[in-house]
Amino acid sequence: MPGLIPTLNRRGFMAESLDRFSSAFVHYAAGCGGTVLDMGCAYGVATHAALGQGATVHACDMEAGHLAILEAETPAALRPRLSTSVGTLPALSFGAASFAAILCSRVLHFMRGEEIRAALALMHDWLQPGGRLFLVADTPYAGFWASAAASYEQRKAAGEEWPGFIADIGSFFPDPATVDGMLPYLNPLDPDILVRECGLAGLAVLDSGFTGRGDDRQGRKHAGVIAMRRG
């Protein structure tokens, strides 16, 4: 698909351009004066942008091959400000107050509700007081799942906690082999749910909304939040 690069592990795609929340992370990372975390960095589109603006970045991804590509494509002059590790939320352990900012882009919708809550609790603790969390997730209005958006809206109106959850993504494809090797489920999110979950994690929400990517930043493909750990 134009503008998207498939991941090596069949966990979706990495966008070649930044949405407005990822762009805000890059801008903040450049001036915050501390190490920032790009969680679920894939091939490092946001990491490269932040390094280019002078940030010090720790890039983490579940796929070692992504990190190898990221490191190989990082100019030698920028490598002293890059560190990497392999890991998957919420089974990760960084020290408390390790990061001035965290970007977690297009990761949370691969998790069940209880995993999202555990991941947000961890990222809250990893942030320094006053540090900022930038979240981006796919919405029910993106991809093949958009065909079920009306059903999602009905479930949300009825008060379901995770109205976008899809237990069997194979049902959206005519050929079941299309999803071989992929997670069987998906949990598309919207800005309201991200705001709710950040609040439950003790974070103060500074901004939220829908966004697209590239030239479609007013679209609804992604949901984003900028939140802050209280001092």
Lowest mean pLDDT among 2-11, 76-85, 169-178, 188-197: 2-11
* pLDDT at 215 > cutoff 60: no
Residue type, 228: M
Span 30-45, pLDDT tens digits: 999 999 999 999 989 9
- Whether 198 is covered by a domain: the verdict is yes
> Which residue range is the domain that position 57 belongs to?
4-140+189-229
pTM of the model as a whole: 0.93
Domain count, the chain: 1
Average model confidence (pLDDT) for the chain?
A: 92
- pLDDT on residue 107: 95
Span 15-70, pLDDT tens digits: 778 999 999 999 999 999 999 999 999 989 999 999 999 999 999 999 999 999 99
Q: Are 171 and 153 in contact (CB under 8 A)?
A: no
48 CB-side CA count, 13 A: 17
CATH number of the domain bearing residue 208? 3.40.50.150
H-type alpha helices, 74-175:
113-126, 149-157
Nearest to 141 by CA among 164, 158, 166: 164
- Whether 173 is covered by a domain: the verdict is no
- Whether 134 is covered by a domain: the verdict is yes
Question: In a 3-state reduction of DSSP, which class is residue 208?
Answer: strand
